[in-house]
Structure 1
Amino acid sequence: MRRWLDRGAGDGRTVLALVLVLTVPLLLLGWLVPSARDLDRAALSYELLVYPSVLVAGLLFYVCWRMSGNPTTAWLAAGVTVVGAQGVGLAAVRLAQPTAFAAHAGWMTGIDLALQALVVAGTVLAARRPLHVDPFLAGLVVGAVVTALRATALDLPALGLSGTALRGLAVLLFVGQACAALLLTRLSGAPGWVRLRIGLASVALGFSQLVLAPGLFEDLEAALATVLRIGGAVVLIHTALALLQVNTRRYGSTVRSLHRRMEHLEADARVNRERLHEIGATIAGIANVSQVLHTHPGISPDRRRHLEQAMDAEASRLQRLMDDRRTTRFEQADLDAVLEPLVTAHQARGRQVAWAPSQVKALCRPDDVAEVVNILLENAAQHARTACTLEVDHAADVIEIRVGDDGPGVPADLAGTIFDWGRSGPASTGQGIGLHIAHRLMVEQGGDLRLEPAPPGQGATFVAVLPGEVPE
C-alpha cells in the first residue's frame, strides 16, 4: 500500500503549498472578521473554498482524460466533479437558509443517500463500460440537479427525524461512501496509486459528513469536519496534479518518439528521392544513346562503338543503383574512363560538351564521381547559351573537375545556399536536389564541391575537388 501511495507523489512542497492555499484563507477570515471566529460559522463558510478546490481537481482529471483518452479517467473526472459541484451547492444552500436546512436534515440526508447510490452505481459501471458523455459537463449537470433538489426540499414539510435516526442515516451514508471507495480501488484502467488515493480522499470527505451528525462528536464536529475536508481536497488535487504530470511526461515522450520517427521518415524519403533522381538521370542518358543508335544507322563504326560503350557503362551503373550495390570503396580510377561515357551520353542528346582526355587517375568512388559530373553537366546544359565545358586539372595534392557554362550565372543572393536541399534558382525547372546530392557525394569522398565566383551574366563554373589520398 505504501508503494501505491508514494508512486506519483511528486514534490512534498506541492502538498505543503496546497495545504497553505486551503488553510490560510480560514485563518485570515478569523483574524479580520471577529464574527467568523465561531467554528460552526467558519466551517460553513469554508465549504465554499474546499469544494471549489474539489471542482478544480475534477477539471484536472478531465484534462488528464483529454490527454490519455483513458475511460477510467473519464469516470474519475465525472465522479470528482459531481462531489465538488454538489458540495458547492450544499454550502450555498446552508449559508442561504441555515435554520431551514437544519430543520430539513432528514431530507438532506435522504438526498445524500440517493447521491451516494448514484456514485456507487457509477463506480460499478466504470468497470464495465466507457462513459459516452463529456465527464466534466456531466458532473456539473448532476451537481446542479442535486443542488436544485436540496433547494426544493426546503419547501417541503420537515420529516422530524430524531437524533438517533439521523445518526443512523449518517452511518449508512458513510458505509456507502466506504463501499464506493473500496470498489474504486479495484477498478482497472487507472494506476493503482491514483485509485487508492482517490478512495482515501473519498473516505475522508464521507467521514466529514458523518462527524456532523448530531451527538457524535459534540463540540469538535465542525473543526474535525473542516480538517477532513481540507485533507480530502488536498489529496484529490495533488493526485490529479501527479497524474497530469505523468500524462504530460508520457505525452512528451510520445511526441519526441513521433518526432524521431518523422525525422527517420524524412531522411528515408530524401534518400529515396535522391536515388530516384540518380536513376532518372541515368535512364535518360541510356534512352538517348539508344535512340541515336536506332535512329541513325549511318553513323561510323567508331562512333557506334563509343555510344555502345557509353550505354554499357550507364547500364552497369544503373544496375548497381537498382540493386543498391553502388561502389562504396575507394579505388584508383581512370577519370577518362569515368567521364567519357557521360560526355558521349550528353552529346547523344544534342548537347555541346567540350572535353578532352586528361589521363588523370584519382583515388575515388567512380560511381559517385560519375553521378556528380552527370548532375553538373545536366545543370550546365540547361543554362548554357551555346556549350558547356568539362576540364580535369591535377594541381598539387588535389584533383579538380571543372564544369562551366556560358549562361546567365547564379544570382548573388542564391550563391551561398545553392547546395541546400530544395534550393533552386527562379528560372530553374529542377527540384533543387541535384546539387545537394553532388555536394554530399563529394564531401563523403573527403572532397568538396564549390561554385567559383564570377561576374553577373558570365556563366557559372562548379569545381568538384577530389583528394589525392583516400580519406580515413
Structure 2
Amino acid sequence: MRRTRDRGTGDGRTMLALVLVLTVPLLLLGWLVPGARELDRAALAYELLVYPSVSVAGLLFYVCWRMSANPTTAWLAAGVTVVGTQGVGLAAVHLARPADSAAHATWMTGIDLALQALVVAGTVLAARRPLRADPFLAGLAVGAAATALRAAALDLPALSLSGAALQGLAVLLFAGQVCAALLLTRLVGSPGWVRLRIGLASVALGFSHLVLAPGLFDDVVAAVATVLRIGGAAVLIHTSLALLQVKTHRHGSTVRSLRQRMEHLEADARVNRERLHEIGATIAGIANVSQILHTQPALPDDRRRHLEQAIDAEAARLQRLMDGRRTARFEQVDLDAVLEPIVTAHRARGRRVVWGPGRVRALGRPDDVAEVVNILLENAAQHARTACTLEVDHAADAVVIRVADDGPGVPADLAGGIFDWGRRGSGSTGQGIGLHIAHRLMVEQGGDLHLAPSPPGQGATFVAVLPGEVRE
C-alpha cells in the first residue's frame, strides 16, 4: 500500500487522457487549417502546444518543491521549465522566420549545444549543492535567454555547414541529452521513479530533435518526431502529477499527525490543569485549617481534634493526587467520613456550610466523591449571600447529594452549558474548570451531576447522584 502511495497515480488511464489532450489539437489543426496538413509545418506548429505543456509540468514540479523544499526537486523543476520555455521560444522563432531559421541552422544548433551543456552542468551541480535561485523563475530566465539568442542569431551572417556536419552536431546534441538523463538517474534526494521518467522523457524529446536534423526530414520522420514529443510531454506531466499526489498525501498525513499531536497535547494540558485545580483547592483547605490551629491555641479539644483529622484526610488525598495514586477502584463509601473533612475545611475558611452526618453509604471512589463535593461547595460559597447547604439522601437505589446556595442563581444563557470546559459567567473569577471536572468524575463513577431547576434569583442547586450502597 505504501509503495502505491509513494508512486502516486500509476494507472494508464491518466496517461491515456494526457496523450489524448495533447493529440486532439493536432488532429483539429490538420482538419480545420489546410496549410497545417503539411507534416513539417504541423510538427513545428505543434511545438507551441507540446512545450507549453512541458512548462506546466515544470510548474507542477515547482509546486512539489514548495511543499517539500527538496533540493533535488528544485533542480528538476528548473530543468523541466528550461526545456519547456526554450522549446516554446524555438518553435516561435521557426514559425516566425522559417526561411531564416533554415539558413541559420548552424547557429541554432550551436545554441542548442550550449544550452545542453548548461543542462548537463546543472545535473552535475544538483548532486553537490542546492539551487540558490527560485527554480521556476530561473528556468524561465534561462529559456527566455535562449530564445533571445536564437532571435538575435537570425541577424548574424549565415554559417554554411554541410548536411552531414549538421547531422553530426545533432547526434552530439542527442548524446548530451542522453548523458544528462543518465546523470539524472544517479541523483539522490528524489524518488527513483521520478528521475527515471524525466530521463526517458528528455531522451524522447531529444530524439525528436535528432530525427528532424537536415537531411533526415520527411513526412514519416515528422510524424515520428511528433509522436515522440507527445509521449515525452505526456510522461513529464504524468510524472509531475504523480509526484504532486505523493507530496499532497504526505502533506496531509503530516497535517493529520500534527493535529493528533495537538489534540493529545490539549488533552494532556486539560488533565494537568484539572490536577492543578484539585491540588490548589486541597492546599487552600489545608492552609486555612492549619492557620486556625496555629493562631487559636485555646480551641476546645473536640474542635481541635476535628480540625486535625481534616488536615490528615486532606493531606492524604493531596499526596495521592500528587503521586497519581488517587483511588481508582469502586467501594462502599462512608459519606460521613468523606464529607466531614471537606466541610470542616470550608468552615475553617469562614464559610457557613449547613450539614449534618446522616450515616449514608454509597458506591463510588472516595477521593472523587470528596473532590466533587469540594468543587460544589467552593462554587456555592462564591455565589451564596449567607450560607450554602449540603444534604445527603437516599432515593430508590441511589444516593443523592445536594449542594444549594442562596445566591442569584445561574443565568439562563449559562445553564445549558454549565458543565462545559471553560464555561463561566461574566462576573466569575474562576477558570470554568471545576464544574466540568465534577461532572466528569460523577459520570466516571456511574452517577450523574446536574443543575436542578429553580426560580430566577433564588439560588442554585446542584444535584450529584451516586449508586446506592451494595447490600449483601
- TM superposition score normalised by structure 1: 0.97
Shift of residue 11, structure 1, vs aligned partner: 2.8
* Distance in structure 2 (CA, Å) of the matches to 1:139 and 1:45: 22
Q: 1:403 to 1:9 in 2, by over 3 A?
A: closer
* Distance in structure 1 (CA, Å) of the matches to 2:186 and 2:424: 63
Shift of residue 133, structure 1, vs aligned partner: 1.1
Aligned to 2:364: 364
* Distance in structure 2 (CA, Å) of the matches to 1:155 and 1:214: 21
Shift of residue 230, structure 1, vs aligned partner: 0.7
Give the partner amino acid of 2:268. D
* Distance in structure 2 (CA, Å) of the matches to 1:452 and 1:124: 78
* Distance in structure 2 (CA, Å) of the matches to 1:206 and 1:36: 23
Shift of residue 10, structure 1, vs aligned partner: 2.3
CA contact (8 A) 2:40 2:219 kept: no
Aligned to 1:421: 421
* Distance in structure 2 (CA, Å) of the matches to 1:90 and 1:218: 20
Aligned to 1:102: 102
* Distance in structure 1 (CA, Å) of the matches to 2:249 and 2:352: 62
* Distance in structure 1 (CA, Å) of the matches to 2:191 and 2:8: 9
CA shift digits 1:368-400 (9 cap, x unpaired): 000000000000000000000000001110000
* Distance in structure 2 (CA, Å) of the matches to 1:447 and 1:95: 85
Give the partner amino acid of 1:280. G
Aligned to 2:441: 441
* Distance in structure 2 (CA, Å) of the matches to 1:393 and 1:416: 26
Give the partner amino acid of 1:23. T
Q: Does the residue aligned with 2:403 lie in a helix, a strand or coil?
A: strand
* Distance in structure 1 (CA, Å) of the matches to 2:27 and 2:396: 87
* Distance in structure 1 (CA, Å) of the matches to 2:33 and 2:178: 37
Shift of residue 132, structure 1, vs aligned partner: 1.1
Give the partner amino acid of 1:425. G
1:176-215 alignment, distance < 5 Å: 176-215=176-215
CA contact (8 A) 1:402 1:462 kept: yes
Q: Does the residue aligned with 2:420 lie in a helix, a strand or coil?
A: coil
CA shift digits 1:28-81 (9 cap, x unpaired): 111111121111111111111000000000000001111111110110000000
* Distance in structure 2 (CA, Å) of the matches to 1:42 and 1:360: 98
Aligned to 1:255: 255
- Are 1:70 and 2:65 matched, yes or no? no
CA contact (8 A) 1:106 1:159 kept: yes
CA shift digits 1:394-445 (9 cap, x unpaired): 1110000100000010111111100010101112111110000000000000
CA shift digits 1:313-345 (9 cap, x unpaired): 100000000010000011112100100001110
* Distance in structure 2 (CA, Å) of the matches to 1:145 and 1:419: 68
Q: Does the residue aligned with 1:184 lie in a helix, a strand or coil?
A: helix
* Distance in structure 2 (CA, Å) of the matches to 1:131 and 1:440: 56
Shift of residue 117, structure 1, vs aligned partner: 0.3
Give the partner amino acid of 2:455. P
Q: 1:188 to 1:35 in 2, by over 3 A?
A: same
Aligned to 2:302: 302
* Distance in structure 1 (CA, Å) of the matches to 2:53 and 2:455: 73
RMSD: 1.3
CA contact (8 A) 1:8 1:193 kept: no
* Distance in structure 2 (CA, Å) of the matches to 1:13 and 1:315: 72
CA shift digits 1:345-375 (9 cap, x unpaired): 0000000000011100111100000000000
CA contact (8 A) 2:54 2:84 kept: yes
The count of corresponding residues between Structure 1 and Structure 2 is 467
* Distance in structure 2 (CA, Å) of the matches to 1:447 and 1:469: 13
* Distance in structure 2 (CA, Å) of the matches to 1:87 and 1:406: 85
- Are 1:38 and 2:12 matched, yes or no? no
Give the partner amino acid of 2:452. E
Aligned to 1:431: 431
- Are 1:126 and 2:144 matched, yes or no? no
Aligned to 1:278: 278
* Distance in structure 1 (CA, Å) of the matches to 2:256 and 2:8: 22
Q: Structure 2 stretches of 5 or more lacking a match?
A: none
Task: Give the share of equivalent positions with the same residue, in percent.
Answer: 85
Q: Does the residue aligned with 2:417 lie in a helix, a strand or coil?
A: coil
* Distance in structure 2 (CA, Å) of the matches to 1:292 and 1:49: 91
